[in-house]
Amino acid sequence: MTMHQRQLDLRSGCVDLSHGAGGRAMAQLISGLFHEAFGNGWLARGNDQSAFDVAAGRMVMTTDGYVVSPLFFPGGDIGSLAVHGTVNDIAMAGARPLYLSASFIIEEGFRFADLKRIADSMGEAARAAGVPIITGDTKVVERGKADGVFISTAGVGVLPDGLDLSADKARPGDRVLLSGSLGDHGVAIMSKRQNLTFDTEIVSDSASLHGLVADMVAAGGHGLRLMRDPTRGGLAATMNEIAQQSNLGFRLQEDAIPVKPAVAAACELLGLDPLNVANEGKLIAVVSPDVAGAVLAAMKAHPLGRDAADIGEAVADDHRFVQMATSFGGGRIVDWLSGEQLPRIC
């Protein structure tokens, strides 16, 4: 028997409470919008879960939530951001991402057109990454109980044999590599939020980094100590986290840290420090000096690492300070971000 379903009005219709009530309207939303956007054989089976083959060896699993405001920003939106962020959380272990799940909390009255735009973007990002979304969930809450849409994700991946990246692997003398310019994502969000325009458009750096990571693993092997993506809190918070976990200090060179002139100017206008601003398509790697040159060359050869730089080194320091030699010949401590510089950035 074929269930009769009226078409979603994707141009002017809105989500209502019936689309989360478990009935015909919800089935219509899932099949007519999400399955269309994510389209793959796992979702087509219509189960509440998906079965997949498990590779031999160690698996990696992560989960995350996305509440960014605004939902659409230069260079991306909450849908693509959710895919990129989850893929990158897996990739920072050196793992190859395999599958994603996605759960949506949607506010009553949210426009179908915007939801479709988000789902299409999410599906495109997943296909580009080669990491399908194979299961998910949908809930609808009353008007005023959410801010349009929130997305929760989970992801699984598989680690190459023998690879074990962790902050406690870092040693004095290790080099700190950064894959590209800082602050693009955070400034893109802030400019959209404040309706600011600049001579050069600043777009988010949101991207899936697992391809870049695979090239780095191939070049550096066991000389790779750890990798992190400097999202909330930016480079400053991430380096302080690594210092605490490794019981080491770090010395960074300000002149070596890439920041685009437009981003630097915007940060000065907004009163932001680029070191504290969030990134969604960049990574930090701490590597043995023996392989630093090879890993940096591999990064520069990849489209997402062409502006990669060696920005400093790990040092023995019981205080676990992150210090920076400034471009004026002085020095300063790079401290944790105090308070919330940019709320709801991811």
Question: By the 8 A CB rule, do 142 and 17 touch?
Answer: yes
**Within 10 Å of residue 199's Cβ, how many Cβ atoms?**
7
DSSP 47: -
Which residue type sits at 344?
Answer: R
**Helical axes 78-91 vs 210-220, angle rounded to 10°:** 20
Q: What is the pLDDT of residues 209-263, one digit of tens each?
A: 999 999 999 999 999 999 999 999 999 999 999 999 999 999 999 999 999 999 9
Closest by CA position to 208, among listed 85, 79, 67: 85
- How far apart, in whole angstroms, are the C-alpha atoms of residue 201 and residue 214? 30
333 Cβ neighbours under 8 A, 6+ residues apart:
321, 322, 323, 324
Instruction: Let me know: does 291 contact 96? Beta carbons within 8 Å.
Output: no
Quick check: 38 and 103 in contact, CB under 8 A? no
Per-residue pLDDT, 191: 87
SS3 264: helix
Q: Compute the distance between CA of residue 208 and CA of residue 183 in angstroms, rounded to an integer.
A: 17
Burial bucket for residue 308 (CB in 10 Å: 0-12, 13-18, 19+): buried
| CA angle, 84 then 85 then 87, to 5° | 65
At 229 the pLDDT is 97
Quick check: helix, strand or coil at residue 145?
Answer: coil
Distance CA 57, CA 162 (A): 9
Q: Which of 80, 162, 160 shows the shortest CA–CA distance to 127? A: 80
Is pTM beyond 0.85? Reply is yes
In Å, how far are 5, 35, 48, 94, 286 from 2, measured between CA atoms?
Answer: 9, 18, 20, 46, 57
Burial class of residue 327 (count of CB atoms within 10 Å of its CB; 0-12, 13-18, 19+): exposed
What percent of the residues of the chain are helix, what percent strand, and what percent coil, each to the nearest 5?
35, 20, 40
Q: Is residue 82 within a helix (H) or strand (E), and if so which, with residue range?
A: helix 78-91
Residues 6+ apart with CB under 8 A from 51: none
Question: What per-residue confidence (pLDDT) applies to 2?
Answer: 44
pLDDT at 219: 98
Helices (H) and strands (E) in the chain, counts: 10, 13
d(CA 75, CA 58): 34
Instruction: Identify the burial level of 22 via C-beta atoms within 10 angstroms of its C-beta, where 0-12 means exposed, 13-18 middle and 19 or more buried.
Output: exposed
Q: Which residues of the chain have pLDDT under 70?
A: 1-6, 339-341
pLDDT of residue 1: 38
